[in-house]
Structure 1
Amino acid sequence: MKSYYIKLFLRIALALGFLSAVADRLGLWGQEVSVWGNWQNFQTYTQSLVPYMPEVFIPFIAIIITLMEVVLALLLIIGFRIKITALVSGYLLLVFAVSMTLFYGIKGTFDYAVFTAAAAAMGLSTLSDQ
């Protein structure tokens, strides 16, 4: 019974992290607490994390990442295929953490606990019964 609540907590925490990031880039958090605050700033940040990609691909990449975060969050909340959903979430977060580290340095990944979130997602994938 206790492990059920631990898994639920991990699922909800990861899902809310994804949804909060999406809300931020859509301007739903308000400027005083936002990291990006709007879609254009998010696309600029995305470009900075993948500077090797041609600029024409950045809007597509930003949309794909955003859709992935929304879908993964919803799947985590409803508990659908937790093992694979958590693993994909972990890899998405790990790619983000590595990109942040390479192009901004390690401090931001620690400050925003991106490696921790990736590890939590991967850990959840091992705890799941599904």
Structure 2
Amino acid sequence: MKNTLQPLPQLFLRLALSVTMLSAVADRFGFWGENSAWGNWENFEKYTQQLTFFLPESVGSFSAYAATFLEILFPLMLIFGIKTKWASLGTGFLLLIFAFSMSVALGVKAPLDYSVWIGSAAAFLLSVQSDYKYSIDTLIKKS
């Protein structure tokens, strides 16, 4: 039995993961206005410090920048289908780190409320697909 999702559900999964992560980035830059979790970078950095309480403060601040960079990079890679397997693995591990950090810092309910575990599992499912139709990866493979 071939380990592959149908092309349209696979594309939907790539887009759903991407839009979800990019929405979180938009929130920390204030693009969602009053319908936001953080609303600005300072609040997001405080939240990151809360999740990384076990790290030195400077590393916690760096984590906010690193997470934001990866939450922009991986979704763009997924949207365009560039190194899709690596982008989905990266997304899965990033969300897994978020889920564990949220569980430790905020309790087990927080990552469940934000479906972080499901996002991580979905990204890992995407990473084991044999091919990625509707992607730059496929175009490169064909040429």
The AA in structure 1 aligned to 2:111 is T
State whether structure 2 residue 17 is matched by structure 1 residue 14: yes
Q: TM-score, normalised by structure 2?
A: 0.85
2: CA distance, partners of 1:79 / 1:64 = 22
Deviation string 1:13-61 (CA, Å, 9 cap, x unpaired) is 000011000000001110x210000000000000011112121233322
Q: What residue in structure 1 maps to residue 82 of structure 2?
A: 80
Answer yes or no: is the 8 Å Cα contact 1:83–1:128 preserved in 2: no
- Tell me the equivalent position of 2:139: none
- Superposition deviation, residue 109 in structure 1: 1.0
1:5-84 → structure 2 map (5 Å cutoff): 5-30=8-33, 32-84=34-86
**Once superposed, which parts of structure 1, at least 4 consecutive aligned residues long, lie more than 6 Å away?**
none
Q: Which amino acid aligns with 1:61?
A: S
Quote the Cα distance in structure 2 between the aligned partners of 1:128 and 1:14.
19
Gaps of 5+ in 1: none
Q: Counterparts of 2:32 and 2:116 in 1: how far apart (Å)?
A: 20
Q: After TM superposition, give the deviation of residue 128 of structure 1 in Å.
A: 4.3
Q: Which runs of 5+ in 2 are unaligned?
A: 133-143
Please say if residues 7 and 128 of structure 1, whose CA atoms lie closer than 8 Å, have aligned partners that are also in contact.
no
Question: Alpha-carbon deviations, 1:93-117, whole Å to 9, x = none?
Answer: 0000001011111111111100000
Give the letter for the 1:6 counterpart.
P
- TM-score w.r.t. the length of structure 1 is 0.94
Identity %: 47
| Cα-Cα RMSD | 1.2
